[in-house]
Amino acid sequence: MKAGIALDPRPSATRPMRIAISTPELHQLQWVMNGKPADATHIIQGYIVAGLQSSGHNLTFIAPRTLEEIVCTDDLQRPSIAPQTWTIRPWFNIASKGSWRIQRLLGVPYLNVFSNYRLLDACLQCLPGHDIVYERNILYKSGVAMACKRLGLPYVLYFEADDILEHDYMGKPITGLQRWRASESIRYNLNTATCVICVSEEGKNHLVTNWGVPAKKIVVFPNAADVHRFRPSPENSSTMRATLGVENNPLILFVGSFYEWHDVATLLDAFSRVLTQHPEARLVLVGDGSQRQAMMQRATDLSIASAVHFVGQVAHDVVPQWMSAADIAVVPYPPMDHELWLSPLKLFEYMASGTAVIASAIGQLPKIIQDGKNGLLVPPGDVTGMTDAMKCLIEDAALRSRLGQQARQDSVKNYSWDHYVSRLERLFTAVIAGQPVCQIKGLEE
């Protein structure tokens, strides 16, 4: 197994492109590529980078290093600082510092205005000569889009989720001037984008309805899995089970960030009921996040802590071992006031691993999981439904095997990173040629 994220070299169906990739945090992408723990957002971007590199495309990475410095590099291991012109002149620094002092006196939060101008300046020096610019949308950041507009460069915006909506859902809403600023930068990026990539039809509907983005310039690319790394592996399964001391126990797995929209609470409540009939069952939860401590306390309150193992965040290289060891893998979500906009990375990696999946029937999930064919669906937030599904799969080894095999086949056929990157190349080629996204046939297949 390779360290970090890397895909096997493959011939590209398109000519080599010079692609600029704007990422929120360079060090997170570096961690992913070097095999260190990181969140799903950066893991996804790591696979996209690895796929484009394996196809022979030339990549330049642009990211803020500090509020004053911008990285522009083709070497992630030895990044270089981008040149700047007018934003390093004394008058600009005086204006920046003076503005910030006035804002603090007036109680106005930092609004990223001057940092975006620095980003614009750096991009105007670095982007000429590139064929296309790809950016993962991030709050308060519009300098890259501004540069693309000035230079007339094709600009593809990856819109994984509405960050303002996510803050609302977590009970940490962005308010006042910061909310206005965040909204304005998102709107500017969306309007400037030649094409917007989102991860689900629900996300597309949200962009059309709430942000006024024309549907004709949005394309839906669900997430994917490395089907070579994530695969059935009896040897890994035996090793991991021996390490846990659960060689023959039914093993249920959750992998993910412990955010409010990951319904680990329902999973724990359901598992406590499963234990009444299957006391030998074990639940493993891999990941970290704001709700982890609360969920650990919940397991204690339910008196099931001895049967539940909280692993914490691990390097992505290690995740396949956990997935190959599991009998059942769970994707739990609660009922929501808004449509679930996500495309869970764990779902596709569970499927590629050949593990029997239980998923909440919400958002994109019922389009990926066909109940009784390649997994089981349960109503979101339904403890009884989750309990019954886990019991069913624990008691029916043949069903587990059949669901896992079909999930693996579907993953290889439709949801591999090789397949994803191939579509992304076709999209980039068409956008560079000025072809409207809505006219690119078969792009979302």
Q: Are residues 272 and 404 in the same domain?
A: yes
CA pair distance 102, 81, nearest whole angstrom: 29
Judge whether 13 lies within some domain: no
11 occurs within a structural domain: no
Q: What's the pLDDT score for residue 13?
A: 63
If phi > 0 it is left, if psi is from -120 to 50 it is alpha, else beta; for residue 326 that is beta
Q: Report yes or no on 99 lying in a domain.
A: yes
In a domain, residue 49? The reply is yes
Residues 252 and 388 in one domain: yes
Q: pLDDT per position in the chain (445 positions), as tens?
A: 355 776 777 666 678 999 999 998 888 899 989 888 888 889 999 999 999 999 999 999 999 988 889 999 999 989 999 999 999 999 999 999 999 999 999 998 888 999 999 999 999 999 999 999 999 998 999 999 999 999 999 999 999 989 999 889 888 999 999 999 999 999 999 999 999 999 999 999 999 999 999 999 999 999 999 999 999 988 888 888 888 888 789 999 999 989 888 899 999 999 999 999 999 999 999 999 889 999 999 999 999 999 999 999 998 999 999 999 999 999 999 998 888 888 999 999 999 999 999 999 999 999 999 999 999 999 999 999 999 999 999 999 999 999 999 999 999 999 999 999 999 999 999 999 999 887 776 665 5
Task: Looking at the structure, tell me whether residues 239 and 212 fall in a common domain.
Answer: no
Q: Are residues 155 and 240 in the same domain?
A: no
Nearest 10 degrees: Cα torsion 136, 253, 302, 377? 80
132 backbone dihedrals φ, ψ, rounded to 5°: -160, 155
What pLDDT is attached to residue 219? 96
What's the structural domain count of the chain? 2
Q: Is residue 445 domain-resident? A: no
Do residues 170 and 204 both lie within one domain? Answer: yes
Q: Are residues 110 and 70 in the same domain?
A: yes
Same domain, yes or no: 252 and 183? no
- CATH number of the domain at 219, please: 3.40.50.2000
Q: Looking at the structure, do residues 292 and 395 belong to the same domain, yes or no?
A: yes
Q: What are phi and psi of 360, to 5 degrees?
A: -70, 135
- Which residue reads 């809505």 in tokens? 438
Q: Are residues 326 and 348 in the same domain?
A: yes
Return the pLDDT at 1.
Answer: 39
CB atoms within 10 A of CB 176: 11
Same domain? 424 vs 385: no
Give residue 383's domain range.
234-414
Q: Establish if 9 belongs to a structural domain.
A: no
- Cα 88 to chain center, whole Å? 35
**Do 332 and 435 have their domain in common?**
no
Residue 5 lies in a domain: no
- Could you tell me if residue 266 is inside a domain? yes
119 with 182, same domain? yes
